Amino acid sequence: MHDGPIYDNKSGHLVIADVGLISEYAADCDALAVIAKILGRSAEQKELEDRAEVYRKSLQSLWDEKAGIFLNKD
């Protein structure tokens, strides 16, 4: 997956979508939002919750109906 994907020089990113990494990032945002709530940091909590939602929605584009699973995109 990570050996030889296209590199976008303009954005500085690899042009891939990794189900595991996206899922982990969304989960990290959720956990950090809980911490932000405990600390009374409502702006940060909202930002983290919003980020998690954006990434959860992006995962939907990786669903493969035929395979019945989420698939990485390269």
Residue 29: per-residue pLDDT: 98
CB 53 within 8 A of CB 33: no
Residues 5-45 pLDDT 10s: 788 889 887 778 899 999 999 999 999 999 999 999 999 99
Residue 1: per-residue pLDDT: 64
Is the model's pLDDT at 2 over the cut of 70? Answer: no
CB 18 within 8 A of CB 71: no
Residues 59-68 pLDDT 10s: 999 999 999 9
pTM for this prediction? 0.79
Residue 67: per-residue pLDDT: 96
